[in-house]
Amino acid sequence: MTREQHLKFCKKCTNRRLDMKVGLLCNLTGEMADFENECKSFKLDETVIEKIDDTEAVEHNDLMYKLSDKNLEKFRSEQEFPKAIITGIIVGIIGALLWGAITVMTEFQIGFMAVAIGAGVGISMRITGKGIDQIFGISGGIIALVSCLLGNFFSIIGFIANSEGLGYLETLTLFDYNQLIPIMTETFSGMDLLFYGIAAYEGYKFAFRTFTEKELYELEK
């Protein structure tokens, strides 16, 4: 067993002792743990269990490190990647339409809409996809980012439609898409980059299945 695997037991054992130079030691032997599979001297410290956090989700990188191979295999078998992608795209499109509509109505681009889109895409993918692999987070980040760009595009279409007295669908069909990049570049600002980055990060972060420290303990005990 590795040192990390040993520490899963040692941190919850009443026989632990902290040495400032080498870390946790067994108070019975004065040495670092060297058992295999289980420790015959292990005695659960109930006070440690009571202090385990049952509110905050464990960071994804830490989660992958703390889950056993058995549980990793189990949760991977429960993943639904196609459902997560479909749900994320639908939520992203809805968010983009809302962003466009609100921007046109208020005549003001609300950057926090990007944050909402990122969170919405990520959380919806988490619920339907139950993903723990990196592909879920990467997909969530990409979908969130594209949705933000789409929201800006819908805003442009809305402003043109109102200015020319055209319908939105009609404007979509008449729009010169060769001018899309120049127009979006002209209306782009540094704050857009910031909000896009936050949206992509939230799409990534929230797309993963989450567990609290308490739930992890129950799974791994």
Task: For residue 46, tell me if it sits in a domain.
Answer: yes
Task: For residue 88, tell me if it sits in a domain.
Answer: yes
Check residue 191 and give its pLDDT: 77
Where is the domain boundary, 9, 35, 51? 51
Task: For residue 120, tell me if it sits in a domain.
Answer: yes
Ranked by mean pLDDT, the top range of 8-22, 91-105, 183-197 is 91-105
> What pairing do the DSSP bridges indicate for beta strands 16-19 and 23-26?
antiparallel
Tens digit of pLDDT for each residue in 104-120?
888 777 778 888 999 99
pLDDT over 70 for what percent of the chain? 95
Name the pLDDT band for 3 (thresholds 50, 70, 90). Answer: confident
Check residue 216 and give its pLDDT: 77
Check residue 51 and give its pLDDT: 64
- Across 88-92, average pLDDT: 97
Q: CA angle at residue 214 from 208 to 219, to 5 degrees?
A: 75
Please give the tally of structural domains in the chain.
2
33 and 100 share a domain?
no
145 and 197 share a domain?
yes
Which CB contacts under 8 angstroms, 24+ apart, belong to 173-179? none
34 and 137 share a domain?
no
Task: For residue 61, tell me if it sits in a domain.
Answer: no
For 3, the domain range is 1-51
21 and 102 share a domain?
no
Task: For residue 213, tell me if it sits in a domain.
Answer: no
**For all residues of the chain together, what is the average pLDDT?**
87
Name the pLDDT band for 89 (thresholds 50, 70, 90). Answer: very high
93 and 186 share a domain?
yes
Task: For residue 35, tell me if it sits in a domain.
Answer: yes
**What's the rounded Cα separation, in Å, for the pair 107 and 156?**
11
88 and 38 share a domain?
no
Grouping H, G, I as helix, E, B as strand and the rest as coil, residue 17 is strand
Check residue 221 and give its pLDDT: 61
90 and 161 share a domain?
yes
Name the pLDDT band for 182 (thresholds 50, 70, 90). Answer: confident
Task: For residue 63, tell me if it sits in a domain.
Answer: no
pLDDT over 90 for what percent of the chain? 34
User: What are the two backbone dihedrals, phi and then psi, of residue 112, each rounded to the nearest 5 degrees?
Assistant: -65, -15
- Across 170-195, average pLDDT: 84
92 and 24 share a domain?
no
pLDDT at residue 121 greater than cutoff 80? yes
Task: For residue 57, tell me if it sits in a domain.
Answer: no
Burial of 197-208, coded b for 16+ CB within 10 Å and e otherwise, reads: ebbbbbbbbbbb
86 and 47 share a domain?
no
92 and 160 share a domain?
yes
7 and 100 share a domain?
no
Which residue has better confidence, 136 or 165? 136
pLDDT at residue 129 greater than cutoff 70? yes
Q: The tokens of 130 are what?
A: 């139950």
87 and 180 share a domain?
yes
Tens digit of pLDDT for each residue in 188-207?
777 778 888 999 999 999 99
C-alpha distances out from residue 163 to 29, 118, 153, 184, Å: 81, 30, 15, 17
Q: The tokens of 82 are what?
A: 């196609």
- Across 67-73, average pLDDT: 85
Tokens 């949760």 correspond to: 75
The answer to whether 104 and 162 have CB atoms below 8 angstroms apart is: yes
